Chains A and B, each alone.
Chain A
Amino acid sequence: MDKVISVSLGEIALKGLNRKYFEDELISRIKENLKDIGYERIYKEQGKFYIEAQEKDFDMIIDRLKKIFGLVYISPCIRIDKNMGKIEEASIQMIGEKLSNENIKTFKVVTRRIDKSFPIKSPDVSKEIGAVILKEYDDLKVDVHNPDIYLYIDIKENCYVYIDKIRGYGGLPVGTNGHGLLLLSGGIDSPVAGFMMAKRGVKISVVHFHSYPFTSERAEEKVKKLAKILSLYTGPIKFYSVNILEIQKELNSKCPEDEMTILSRRFMMRISERIANKNHINALITGENLGQVASQTIEGISVINAVVNIPILRPLIGFDKVDIIDLAKEIETYETSILPYEDCCTLFLPQHPVTRPKLENIEKSEENIDIERLIENALKTMKIYNI
């Protein structure tokens, strides 16, 4: 009797001809995530992946697996030969382990006979194993409608017995759906936006804008820490760090104060597009959320969009702040996001920012600005880190 961890795939099973590609991507993500913990073997058997590893590492491995997109359920299983005696033994052990941890009164056995050469039909396996469990554990009863636990028996090449089905996030393996450049500010929203798009299979790179020495090195360190947390879900992240102080100074001296935020954001988009084009990135990702702050109005977003051709994905556009905060807590970026360091936007924040900017006005304000030179200078001093 061996213990293994099974992993069920979600939408990937629907992907038809591309299925092999998605599965390969997923396997490489699993391997990468478990590299430092260590495992013996990963193999596939009729629709599920199985991971052989040391039992003492199971909790840690399951925790990592939960962060891999494309997985729907994770179950610790007992693997045995296809043999009723072995199945009985494994079932008794599995139930026994569960009983020692939880207060369980009722159960139901669910058998799936995928290998039809196995001589006993599924309902009969369930019935027989159910009877054995009842005999072994006096206090347990069968409840076919609403049991406390299900005992699953999958009969394939091997036979697997399991109870727990731990939920993963679902979604698609990172890297199967293009490559996005996430504008990561250090606030609560942008890491969540990155998480959302990564969940749909988008590989993530990060661009961070700062105004050192108007902002501190600790503020940048905090954003790197956020990227590090995000990378547990997305895999390694390339981190582009751009100083826009010169741009902000120029805007501050030559443009109307109330347009500062919109004008800075237009520069951020332009610079992000340059980075994207140069690095074969297909889209920008922002944490923008309609109506949250002055620049995040439909008019504001239109004026910001007007400077780039690349698509801008805004997965949080319709979220309420409380929901974003809940997600940020769930993915464990919240505590880092609320550390109190200045970001580049707050220092030049106008008293009364324009909320309904008109494109012609904004373009007029930019007339006296040497846009190209400012962008080039910012890119020249850009720093790149591997997170």
Chain B
Amino acid sequence: MEVYLDNCATTKPREEVIEEMLHVLREEYGNPSSLHRKGFNAEKKIEEVRENIGRFLNVSSDEIYFTSGGTESNNLAIQSIIDKCHKKGKHIITSKIEHPSVLNVLEYYEQKGYEITYLDVDSNGLISLEQFRDSIRDDTILVCIMLVNNEVGSIQPIDKIKDILRKEKSKALLHVDGIQAFGKVPVNIKGWGIDTFSFSGHKIYGPKGIGGLFVDKKIKLNPIIFGGNQERGLRSGTENVPGIVGLGKAVEIMEKNYEKESEKVKRIKNYFIKRLRENIELIKINSPMSEKCSPYILNVSFKYVKGEVLLHYLEDKEIYVSTGSACSSKGTEKSHVLKAMGLSPLDIDGAIRFCFSYENTINDVDYTVDVLKNSVEEIRQITMR
């Protein structure tokens, strides 16, 4: 029995997505920039998706730009905003628990002389709005906060950020990494005053290699990739038509099933927590237990167990999970998110991330908890001597 619980790393594409992409690959292979009908048809396809995503996010379709995925979207927003605002100041505010595609870009600019304030998070993985207010300076040009954290699922108070900036009379722009939030938790781009918002296809049962960036019409960004001026000059390169169409299909289905699937996942997650607590000792739930957490993410520490060892025990029984985030877990570095949340080394070592999808069932949870129980006991026999 295979149980896939690594849906924050990537999701399994939906059948409808695959079919739609196959159709485009086989039949509608024209280059959207070509002048003939085959090109025009491909262009129509991607514009249709742009409309759909604009409607889904409640923004104008010409505020949506397609990219190769979340990492590129975060890079494009950050590099481009810094390039645009470098004369206004050199101060940026972010949090300690951002994704590497944000932190590593900012570190690069830090080496080039920019000043970065890294906001702390509490034990629930949440920033403090007081600390945020106190960090704002006259030369702050950019605030970069993720909506849903990819390791623990905490939901940041993005809705309050722009208000505080306005009260402090700051013109700083707000970039939100929305990759784990898109289609999974409520987002109000315009209402919250978000200037740029990144999202990705393969986290919502779409294909890899496609993502997008919302850029508010009021701001004009320069590209970081130059070429044939596709995507209205912001992102050159022949459009990934099958990817865009796949993403469009994934959004279309998600829009329809959003409530139903998120309710189901919430039930699965709560059941999972209950079964874990009943069956396994010495565990610590690292995800916030309040409404301020994505129903799709559950981070748990198994004390006296090395996360990576437990991961391999589970994989042997065809259960797939992550330690920390998949993007950084190939190395042996410890999770910067859990460290920032103040977890002890023992809890960081034993942390496992379970991420759910609409396909998971109560049976999956029962099987997983049974295997977990046996594996954890076996490993502890060795490590707790």
Which residues does A use to contact B, with CB under 8 Å? Answer: 212-218, 249, 252-253, 257, 340, 342, 347
Contact = CB atoms under 8 A, between A and B. Distances in A.
Contacts of A347: 306, 309
B309 A252 contact: no
Nearest to A212: B312
A212 B314 CA distance: 12
B331 interface: yes
A179 B81 CA distance: 63
A60 to B, nearest CB: 32
Contacts of B308: 216, 342
A340 B332 CA distance: 7
Interface centre among B331, B382, B385 (most CB of A within 10 A): B382
B316 interface: yes
A253 B381 CA distance: 8
Contacts of B382: 249, 252-253
B315 interface: yes
Interface residues of B, number: 13
A257 to B, nearest CB: 8
Q: Dominant SS at the B interface?
A: helix
B255 to A, nearest CB: 38
B316 A213 contact: yes
Nearest to B385: A252
Interface of B: 306, 308-309, 312-313, 315-316, 330-332, 381-382, 385
Contacts of B331: 340
Contact of A253 (B306, B313, B385): B385
A218 to B, nearest CB: 8
Contact of A213 (B313, B332, B381, B385): B313
Return the 3 tightest CB-CB contacts between A and B, nearest first: A213-B312, A213-B313, A340-B332
A245 to B, nearest CB: 9
A216 B312 CA distance: 6
A214 B385 contact: no
A292 B381 CA distance: 31
Contacts of A257: 385
25 contacts: A212-B312, A212-B316, A213-B309, A213-B313, A213-B315, A213-B316, A214-B309, A214-B312, A215-B312, A216-B308, A216-B312, A217-B312, A249-B381, A249-B382, A252-B382, A252-B385, A253-B382, A253-B385, A257-B385, A340-B331, A340-B332, A342-B308, A342-B332, A347-B306, A347-B309
A41 to B, nearest CB: 47
B302 to A, nearest CB: 14
